[in-house]
Amino acid sequence: MDAAEHPRTCPAGDASELHRRRRVGFSVPVGSGVTVRSLVALLFFAAACATAEPPQQDAPIHLAGTSWQRVDDEIANPHGATMAFTERGASGYTGCNRWFTSVTQDGEALRFGDIGMTRVACQTGMQAATERNLIEALNATRYAHYDEDALVLLDERQQQVARFHRAD
């Protein structure tokens, strides 16, 4: 069926036609030969011709051989909490003690194993807090991603638990 077979007429003051035009968001002059079916077909054709952008892929996380300095913990910065990755695991400095652990990584999923550390007595409360904050962040980590020049560690809800800048 087309407009010639079923002509539509609408008095200029017909309120239902004006309401329909507003609801649809555009108006087509009566008698123009444009049908709703042809408009829908045109929209489907235009949508089919559009090319979707490929999804943005983050750079893969390759941690082995990298070293990092924690920057998001004001307590940690004076004492330099650090982290370095090897093929076998990770190690670093808490601001008081040296630490080491195994690492399990699959894409952005990242888990630290049981953390071992030296047992030097922290000289200040600030050093003890720095150490506690770092170990809590490592234990809570479930994911990691790069954010420009930073390594961001995320918990199970993908909330940031620690942020490091490259130290190498």
Q: Which range has the worst mean pLDDT, 97-111, 118-132, 143-157? A: 118-132
Which of the two residues, 40 and 125, has the higher pLDDT score?
Answer: 125
In this predicted structure, the answer to whether residue 3 has a pLDDT above a threshold of 90 is no
Predicted confidence at residue 61, as pLDDT, reads 81
- Residue 62: the pLDDT is 87
Characterize 107-144 residue by residue with b for buried, 16 or more Cβ atoms within 10 angstroms of its Cβ, and e for exposed. eeebbbeebebeeeebeeeebbbbbebbbebbebbbbb
- Asked if CATH classification 3.40.50.300 holds for the domain at 67-166, the reply, yes or no, is no
pTM: 0.63
Where do the domains of the chain lie? 1-52, 67-166
The two tokens of residue 30 are: 């009566």
